[in-house]
Amino acid sequence: MFDQSSGLANPISPPGASSEWISELLLGMRLAGLEYRRIQMAPPFGVRFDTLSSCAQFHFVAQGPVFLSTAGTDDLRLDSGDAVLLPRGGGHQLLSSQDVASRDIDAIEAIPVCDAFSCVTECPQDSCRSQDVRIFSGRMKFDLGGMHPLISLMPRVMHVGTLLSRYPEVLPMLEAMERESRLERVGAAAILSRLADVVAACIVRAWVECGCGDVGGWVEALRDPRLGGVIAAVHREPGRDWSVASMAVEMGSSRSVFAERFRDALGVSPLHYVTQLRMRLARQWITEKSMSIDQVAWRLGYGSQAAFSRAFKRATGQTPGSLRHME
């Protein structure tokens, strides 16, 4: 059984074809590493991370213990081999003990090792000891693709320790991370960052496979074979000329029955959901894939750039062109 405080529950077996919709949408999951740090410090110490809510933060404890402190929750003890994912980032601290003060990790000198990877080392007399704590941390751009609505529903902290009894394949990856965290072999930094991405993805997949906690709504809609099929079809073809009538046909019901079930399950109208999906994809394609506004408009089914720009401004309050100046 998984730890309920981490939002994980006993595995579910979605009925019928609903598992197909979840698997199909999960194919769009992407984790892109933005910054990685290997941290080695002698107790007592405390480091603070102020990760943007648009990013995920991953921590692996190669040698502990260390305490994870987040506002509004009990401190979580992490022992050697433990890992956590904070899917929505946010402010948090890693402490050698619960009574120490913390410093901003960005204010501590870091030595670059390679692209996006650095080492933070603070040991007495420049001589690191066996009892020093070793942590590997990664800040990641987290994109669930078609499963994007799940990010806001995830628990703040997802603990890998809750996965090991049912997903033993994660353990060899954690053991490999412990070995690579010593940085004694050529290419260790690159391998360590790739392993972190895979373990973080496994944490997310396990949470989805195990029912996503008690979140209801969107996930329950996916578990409904007929309604889930409509959602998957919309994500598969966001540029199709969707209407309530065409979505009702996809589900095999009347317009009124479909619209009522959709709103009851997701809390928004079918057409509003389609618009939200399109605008989220547009933002991603423009800012991350450098697509032209014409290309985006065509892929999302708008007859012209002007029509798309009007729809985007109406839905988001800004023009598509303004995204060019954003990271």
pLDDT tens digits for range 10-42: 333 333 444 565 666 566 667 778 889 999 998
Q: Provide CB contacts within 8 A for 297, sequence distance 6+.
A: 304, 305, 307, 308, 309
Residue 24: per-residue pLDDT: 61
Q: Is the dihedral of CA 37, 186, 128, 160 positive or negative?
A: positive
- Measured CA to CA, the distance from residue 147 to residue 111 in angstroms comes to 37
Can you give the pLDDT at residue 39?
A: 92
Distance CA 94, CA 116 (A): 21
Give the whole-angstrom CA distance, residue 173 versus residue 43: 27
Q: Which residue in this structure is represented by tokens 């401190």?
A: 75
How confident is the model over 142-192, as pLDDT tens digits? 776 656 666 767 788 888 877 777 778 888 888 888 888 877 778 888 888
Is-contact 108 183, C-beta < 8 A?
no
HSE, CB side, 13 Å, CA atoms: give it for residue 208.
27
What pLDDT, on the 0 to 100 scale, is given for residue 155?
82
φ and ψ at 94, to 5 degrees? -115, 120
The residues facing 84 across adjacent strands are 59, 159
Pairwise CA distance, residues 287 & 174, whole Å = 33
Question: CA of 326: how far to CAs of 223, 279, 294, 311, 320, in Å?
Answer: 36, 16, 19, 20, 11
How far from the centroid of its chain's Cα atoms is residue 289's Cα? 19
Domains of the chain: 17-211 (2.60.120.10), 224-324 (1.10.10.60)
Give every residue of the chain whose pLDDT is below 50, as ranges: 1-18, 327
Rounded Cα distance, 83 and 136, in Å: 9
Determine the Cα angle at 21 with ends 256 and 1, to 5°: 115
DSSP-assigned states of every residue in 215-238: --THHHHHHSHHHHHHHHHHHH-T
